[in-house]
Amino acid sequence: MHVDLAPEPRHNLHPHTPLPYTGSPLLLCLSDLRLFLALTSTLSGILTPLTQWRAGALDELYPSLPNLYSLFLHAFLLLFQSIFLLSLPFLIALPIWVVGVYFAGVYSVTLAVAFLLNGSEDVLHSRVDLGEEGDRHGGECWIYLNGVSVGRHWLQSNLDLLAMTFRRPVTGVHNRTYGIVFDLLQCILERDFLYATTDIRRSYVTIKASLLDPSNEKVILILHSQGGIEGGMILDWLLGELPRDVLRKLEIYTFGSAANHFNNPLPYPIHVEHFAHTRDFVACWGVLHFSSPSFPNRYAGKVFVCEGEGHLLNMHYLGSLFPITEQGKVDEGMGWEGASRLWGYRDGRVPGGDVKQP
């Protein structure tokens, strides 16, 4: 796979001043709509390739029973919620009490199906047996925030493949799904209105506590898709509340980030890297657009632009950028040495190429 390191934007090459992420929510929504329409040709790049199953049952679209069950529930919610949105203009002719009952019914069905997808746990942990390797990195805390449409099963799969790739235990704070349609509406609320949902507030508490824990020398935060929006907002709060000597523990790595900004003021020593496929709609709508020269100093961190498509974490990003061989090790042929700090963590290593000894 061909990977380029995007230059950090320093100067605005366009004569107009870009709309700030703190600007009018309505103008931001209109801007996002225009960007969405301009990128419609990349929509198919969210799910393709469909059969890149390098991690077997851990891949989101692998035809296992749990995956097929999740896909069935998502298909139902997509159809159900699409019909609901299309029906909204016709509700104006109905009595208000009928509209109220209708909304309550849609809400109840959505919650019921979402519970089947999400379960009841807010925090999950990787289940990979790492043996002695799992004890070699006691000073590190790895936290993962997932993206849209990820229920409990797919979150567990993400955590397990991350643990296999980097040979560390990983904790996941569940960004619950309520179906692709409602999840996208939630993304707009978070990104354009800067609204902190319950998922963001819960994740913030977990990350802040991990940073303040004196036993943690490093806190590595992995963000995917909508998790990039949430992680960016959490970082804004952390920068305003925690001292530099605490924030120096933090490292952030995003995949297909949907965020429209990522702050990291110069005095703060936070290491940030972003990975994005060139034909992944979400990455094009997020990190690739807002890290361009049109938005100077808007997206902190290195941006690795990876030729290809696909938005799913396991199948497309980890499967392409950190593929695991039949021997259970990350393929060394990727040639990332010295470019990506995250690459230095593969197979239980630490950046610099050494394997940490117990």
pLDDT of residue 133: 79
Q: How confident is the model at residue 99 (pLDDT cuts 50, 70, 90)?
A: very high
pLDDT of residue 358: 42
pLDDT of residue 106: 97
pLDDT value at 7 more than 70: no
On whether the CB atoms of residues 331 and 321 are closer than 8 A, the answer is no
pLDDT of residue 111: 97
Q: How confident is the model at residue 11 (pLDDT cuts 50, 70, 90)?
A: very low
On whether the CB atoms of residues 157 and 56 are closer than 8 A, the answer is no
Domain 20-351, CATH 3.40.50 — does that match? yes
Q: For the residues 278-289, what does the mean pLDDT come to?
A: 96
Cβ-based burial of 119 (10 A; exposed 0-12, middle 13-18, buried ≥19): middle
pLDDT tens-place string over residues 226-256? 999 999 999 999 999 999 999 999 999 999 9
Write the CA distances from 243 to 207, 218, 229, 272, 312, integer angstroms: 15, 15, 23, 18, 35
Query: What gap in Å lies between CA 301 and CA 340, rounded to an integer?
Result: 11
DSSP 344-355: GGGGGEETTTEE
Backbone angles phi, psi at 290, to 5 degrees: -85, -5
Percent of the chain with pLDDT over 90: 82
pLDDT of residue 334: 72
Q: How confident is the model at residue 1 (pLDDT cuts 50, 70, 90)?
A: low
Query: What gap in Å lies between CA 256 and CA 55, rounded to an integer?
Result: 19
pLDDT value at 337 more than 80: no
pLDDT value at 356 more than 60: no
Q: In the predicted model, what is the mean pLDDT of the chain?
A: 92
Kind and range of the H or E run holding 26: helix 25-38
Residue identified by tokens 């824990």 is 213
Kind and range of the H or E run holding 106: helix 96-118
Q: How confident is the model at residue 140 (pLDDT cuts 50, 70, 90)?
A: very high
Amino acid at 12: N
Q: In what order do the strands lie in the sheet with 3-6?
A: 3-6, 302-306, 271-277, 250-255, 218-224, 140-145, 170-173, 123-125
Q: Classify strands 218-224 and 354-355 as parallel, antiparallel or unpaired.
A: unpaired
> Facing residues of 306 across strands?
3, 277
Three-class SS of residue 158? Answer: helix
Q: For the residues 204-212, what does the mean pLDDT come to?
A: 97
